[in-house]
Amino acid sequence: MSLYLPYTVGLMAAKKENRKLDRSTEEKIKSAARTVFHKKGFAATRTREIAEEAGINLALLNYYFRSKEKLFQIIMLETMQGFYQTMIIVFMDGSTTLEEKIEQVAEKYIDLVVEQPEIPLFILSEIRNSSGDFFTKLPINELLKKSSFMQQFQEAVQQKKVADVHPIHFVLNLMGLIVFPFIARPVLTHLGEMADAQFRTVMEERKKLIPVWMKTIMAP
């Protein structure tokens, strides 16, 4: 047996453990950055706040992520991927009908945004202030064109079940009905004194109402 074998095995184990620690620290930083960026946006966030949220020092944060801009780009892209992934998965599913897709999108997005209410405003405000490069990394349009949803929508138009309009109107109407209440929530809360529990109840009701409204809106 080689005298160097125990040393080599130990070195490999140490490197493996270091990689695990590195990934753990990276994820801790990203989780903290996600929390702070979603609440305050890019401009109002300081890297020191992210470090404090992660429970680490600023030097360690800078070691893993060289700048606030780089960290923000990662969080922004992951947030958008997570937000649009729900719609893409539902729209690509060939086993569900057009009506079932509407029901699933309404249910899944309302659940998502109830748990993470900062996401819609975060995405809207940061997209407005960005160059739009994020969309080049998310081939949403290409995926939608090839989706089961698109095929079913075209068939519904031919069968005169829905209005003969550009499919983007369908998607915009659907997402608007889902997302706008969360964007308008501060106004609703202020004017109607709507508590969190009441707002959740209203959004649960919308899961059933949105498919009905969509059928009415898109009627030929």
State residue 197's pLDDT score.
83
Residues 172 and 140 in one domain: yes
Q: Which of 29, 49, 66 is the last residue of a domain?
A: 66
Per the structure, how many domains does the chain have? 2
Asked whether residue 47 falls in the same domain as residue 89, the answer is no
Q: Are 60 and 95 in a shared domain?
A: no
pTM over 0.85: no
Claim to verify: residue 89 and residue 174 sit in the same structural domain: yes
Using CA atoms, how far apart are residues 83 and 100, in angstroms rounded to an integer? 19
Residue 95 half-sphere exposure toward CB, CA atoms < 13 A? 1
Q: How far apart are CA 62 and CA 50, in angstroms?
A: 11
Q: Which of 18-27, 58-67, 150-159 is least confident?
A: 18-27
pLDDT average, residue stretch 94-108: 94
How is residue 205 annotated by DSSP?
Answer: H
Q: Do residues 61 and 80 share a domain? A: no
Same domain for 31 and 100, yes or no, is no
Taking residues 71-98, report their average pLDDT. Answer: 89
Domain that holds residue 33: 1-66
Q: For the purposes of burial, counting CB atoms within 10 Å of the CB of 217, is it exposed (0-12), middle (13-18) or buried (19 or more)?
A: middle
Is 143 found in the same domain as 169?
A: yes
Q: What does the pLDDT read at residue 91?
A: 92
The contacts found for 124-129 with CB under 8 angstroms, 24 or more apart, are 124/183, 125/41, 126/41, 126/42, 126/76, 129/42, 129/43
Local confidence band at 211 (pLDDT 50, 70, 90 cut-offs): very high
SS3 state at 59: helix
pLDDT, average across residues 84-93: 89
Same domain, yes or no: 52 and 124: no
The pLDDT of 57-69, averaged and rounded, is: 90
Which tens digits make up the pLDDT trace of 127-168? Answer: 777 655 666 666 677 778 889 999 999 999 999 999 999 888
What pLDDT, on a 0 to 100 scale, did the predictor assign at position 3? 52
Contact 112, 123 (CB under 8 A): no
Same domain, 196 and 171: yes
Other CB atoms within 10 Å distance of the CB of residue 119: 20
Residue 19 pLDDT class (50, 70, 90 cuts): low
Q: Where residue 22 sits, what CATH number does that domain have?
A: 1.10.10.60
Closest among 168, 181, 178 to 218, alpha carbons compared: 168
Together in a domain, 96 and 172: yes
pLDDT above 90 for 193: no
Confidence of residue 17 (pLDDT cuts 50, 70, 90): very low
Among 7-21, 90-104, 110-124, whose mean pLDDT is lowest?
A: 7-21
CA distance linking residue 87 with residue 218, whole number of Å = 19
Q: Are residues 24 and 96 in the same domain?
A: no
- Weakest-pLDDT range from 22-31, 36-45, 107-116, 191-200: 191-200
Cα distance between residue 69 and residue 43, in whole Å: 10
- The mean pLDDT value for 186-209 works out to 83
**Per-residue pLDDT at 176:** 92
Lowest mean pLDDT among 37-41, 186-190, 191-195: 191-195
Query: 39-56 b/e with 16+ CB inside 10 Å = b?
Result: eebbeebebebbbebbeb
